[in-house]
Amino acid sequence: MSDESPFESISLTNQVVLLGVAQLTREGETPVQTHELRRHCQRHLSEVDTEVVGTITEADVIRSLYRLEDEEFVDEVDPAETSPTGKGRPAYTLAVSAETVFDGVADELRDETGD
């Protein structure tokens, strides 16, 4: 059995997105859609002392969520609302405990409060 953490196999951008889902889960704000998650991640990155990730686009969030779903960190759920064109907007929830995420993400992504 490998001692490697599952977090070591995902990029820092994916970790930021995962951390965002975990924070929103803790706040009772999930399931979350990609545009809401992007705003949350951008606010969080402005509070963290790191330049490792850079700016996160909505496309980055979408790609990260697909990867995180493949890795079984998040789950896609039925959309609660539809877009102006009538299509469902995917929403995501955490598939692991928030504590697992807070303990596993890179130290530089967490702020002073331990998030």
69-106: pLDDT as tens digits: 999 999 999 765 555 555 667 899 999 999 999 999 88
20-69: pLDDT as tens digits: 999 999 999 999 999 999 999 888 777 665 555 567 888 999 999 999 99
Place of tokens 């995180």: 68
pLDDT tier at 114 (50, 70, 90 boundaries)? very low
Helices (H), the chain: 12-26, 34-47, 58-70, 98-104
d(CA 105, CA 98): 11
pLDDT at 38: 93
Q: Which backbone phi and psi does 88 adopt, to 5 degrees?
A: -75, 140
Where do the domains of the chain lie, and which CATH numbers do they carry?
A: 9-100 (1.10.10.10)
